[in-house]
Copies of this chain bind each other. A is one copy, B any other.
Amino acid sequence: MQLGVIGLGRMGQIVVNRVVDAGHEVVAFDLDAEAVATAADAGATPAESVADLADRLGDDKRIWLMVPAGAAVDATLDELASHVDEDDVVVDGGNSHFEKSVGRAETTDAAYLDCGTSGGPAGAELGFSLMVGGPQWAYDEMTPVFDAVATGPAGHDRMGPVGSGHYVKMVHNGVEYALMQAYGEGFELLANGRYDLDLEAVAKTWNNGAVIRSWLLELCEEAFREEGSDLGDVADHVSGGSTGTWTVREALEQEVPVPLIYQALAERFGSRDDARFSRRLANRLRYGFGRHEVVRDEE
């Protein structure tokens, strides 16, 4: 089949490669001409604009958006608006908020599939996990493409109506934060505990048969191999946090307790603030009631 891909960053190129490799025809566009050239080298037909891409796709267009979540998605949909109709299918493979996807489906003439995509750059070889929301017929139409982009037929599924794909991906990411922090706590204790341990060896041993083996633990093993058991100069500064924040907000809305996900997110916030006000106040209060000496910053 034929697929248009708009957005040729790291993830978009992987989509192009995997779909081309599966024997499909790809028309590719990005605002960056160099990225288009890279896709062309990989076997895609280059397009000069969104309109050009749409023209080249003919009727029953199948289009995959892999642009940054946010304004770029809306801008691309605006450009596509006059080129698509109800027989066409648009997939948003980025990290959009599910409510945005619900809104976009309403204002797009094409069938709209929101597709949570997990696996990162490593998916280039393995394929991704695709969590898809939207009309069944559109999902069915896209199945050959999903088979190619995902790890295979088992790596994608229709979660439910539009929004459900990005909803499930949002929760996936919330869980991801908590898993990382859980492993981190274990290794923090081992790194500060009673024995002088080779943490790569610990992770390797766990990854071979232990209950907690996982891909994230394989990445821990890789991290210790490359950075050392003390993680070298890796800083206590965790960036990101938007999908975790969305997860906690949704959990508040649904009144579902998610203390581990919340705490993992809070650790990120804390990692970016060298002097937590709450602790500074506690330091001072201990003087207030117990005349314990206040610890003060050196100049």
Q: Which residues of A contact B (CB under 8 A)?
A: 10, 98, 118-123, 126-131, 133, 150-152, 154-157, 159-161, 163-164, 167-168, 171-172, 174-197, 201-202, 204-217, 219-220, 222-223, 227, 231, 233-241, 245, 247-252, 254-272, 274-286, 288-292, 294-297
Contacts and interface: CB of A to CB of B under 8 A. Distances in A.
A113 B229 CA distance: 24
Contact of A260 (B123, B133, B167, B260): B260
Nearest to A245: B252
A277 B215 CA distance: 20
A234 B283 contact: yes
Contact of A248 (B155, B184, B252, B285): B252
A104 to B, nearest CB: 16
A236 B285 contact: no
Contacts of A281: 180, 183-184, 187-188, 220, 223, 231, 234
B157 A284 contact: no
Contact of A239 (B126, B178, B254, B295): B295
A210 B10 contact: no
